[in-house]
Copies of this chain bind each other. A is one copy, B any other.
Amino acid sequence: MATFKAPQTHQEFMTEYPRTTADSLAGQMLRHYWHPVCFSRDLKDIPYGVRLLGEDLVAFRNTNGALGLVGRSCAHRAASLEYGQVTSEGLMCSYHGWTFNSEGRCVAMPLEPANCPLMKKASIPSYPVQEYGGVVWGYLGANKGNPPPLPKIDMLVRDDGELSMERGDIRDYTYLNWLENIADNGHVHVLHTLLPGVIPDDIRPYINTTVDPDWRNSKFSVFETNYGMKTVLVQNTADPNLKFVNTLSIVFPNCWRMANNGGIPPDWSNDRRESGGLLRIIDDTHFEVMRLSFVRQGNYRKGFRASDPKLDRSIKDRLRGTVEKKDYDYRQYPGWEGSTSLEDLIMQQSQGSPADREELLASSDAGVVRLRRIFRKCMEQVAAGEQPKAILNNDQGVIEADTFKGLVTVDELKVGPENMPSSRDGRGLLRDATGKLLFA
């Protein structure tokens, strides 16, 4: 591994920041972490081609169940192993039958003499690969023999509801525009309120409509945590003893947690449906959004996006605006306002690369600033030969990146790196006057 110099200026940092390949400092830094590759359900009887951090790889599960994550090109004539055959031993190149196991070692050459000495020389790159909670993770770093612990996000193994996963929304810009958008609670209060929402009749009785939507009257706080970072927004209500709180978490460098929807004026919902996702960082200018949605009894289910593996790769088709297209709207995304996902896509895509962007950061960008500081510090640590920020599971073996959205009394308000009352406790679920769950 080459050595890299830490960025000395802001512009040097912004140029290095979006890089992902092994020949860059930022790419080396990212290689200290596990990255989502695909969902477990994606590995069936055919290989799964996947580009990760600028490397063309193939993931597979051999017929004995062992996982593999290897380079895309066969060691023989460089044909793509994405079209290889999954066998009991590993992955066979379809061209001439060379077969590689999960360690990348060649174990069969059917067109060469038995025990051909060349077999010892033939190998392809391979990387540690593990599964957790239905997600396949890969580690592309140098420390293959002793990779860091898997980031076991609690949401992936919650047993008190239904988790759905969607994949296939591939973006053509840096993943950092997505992450910064998550760290930036402020945009929700402008961008996502462009079209006034309608409070559904069946949850209207449970909405606190006195929440003050004015950002200037709210308090926005940002904290580095032992898994990444967290933002906390506290808004006033008519009751001085009652606050409306919304927290978001980022598990460094590729996961996020938030409330799925609701909570945007004027539909101030107390509904705490869990949401979030994982970013497959494809390369400097591409990433895949792997979405997670968690719903439990008592959540308002309407508008919930059902998970269906067949829907993978078609999510972009559903990123349509809800406004009727004007016949004089010649933009790439006509009638875009009203779809939160599309609103975010347009802003993020149009920002371009951090390296080329001219910016003027303000007080409400505190989350973005914090996120960059964490990236920059990690890059400096790697440049100095040190380990970057550790992402450690807690005593229960998971990462509690739990988020919270809903009403809390002033005395239970916790504005800090620790969590609000957990989303596990049933707080925020919609109940009738007797406490019975409304949506069961």
Chain A residues with CB under 8 Å of chain B are: 41-42, 44, 46, 48-49, 73, 75-80, 82-83, 85, 94-97, 109-114, 116, 118, 121-122, 168, 186-187, 189-191, 194, 215-216, 309-310, 312-313, 326-331, 333, 336-337, 343, 346-347, 350-352, 357-365, 368
Contacts and interface: CB of A to CB of B under 8 A. Distances in A.
A362 B118 contact: yes
A111 B331 contact: no
Contacts of A82: 331, 350
Q: Nearest 7 A-B pairs (CB), nearest first? A: A80-B350, A111-B364, A97-B190, A78-B357, A111-B186, A79-B347, A95-B347
Contacts of A361: 76
Given A96-B187, A118-B362, A358-B73, A113 B78 contact: no
Contacts of A109: 362
Given A73-B352, A79-B350, A83-B347, 20 more contacts: A41-B328, A44-B326, A46-B331, A48-B330, A75-B359, A76-B360, A77-B359, A77-B368, A78-B358, A79-B346, A80-B347, A94-B343, A96-B186, A96-B187, A111-B189, A111-B216, A111-B364, A112-B364, A122-B360, A310-B327
A78 B352 contact: yes
20 contacts: A73-B350, A73-B352, A77-B357, A78-B350, A78-B359, A79-B347, A79-B351, A80-B346, A83-B350, A94-B343, A95-B190, A95-B347, A109-B362, A110-B190, A111-B186, A111-B216, A114-B216, A121-B360, A122-B360, A313-B330
B351 A42 contact: no
A121 B333 CA distance: 31
A362 B94 contact: no
Nearest to A85: B194
State the oligomeric state as a number of copies.
3
Nearest to A348: B79
A333 B44 CA distance: 17
Nearest to A122: B360
B191 A112 contact: no
Given A46-B326, A336-B83, A112 B190 contact: no
Given A73-B358, A118-B362, A312 B333 contact: no
Contacts of A49: 331
A174 to B, nearest CB: 12
Contacts of A309: 327-328
A360 B190 CA distance: 58
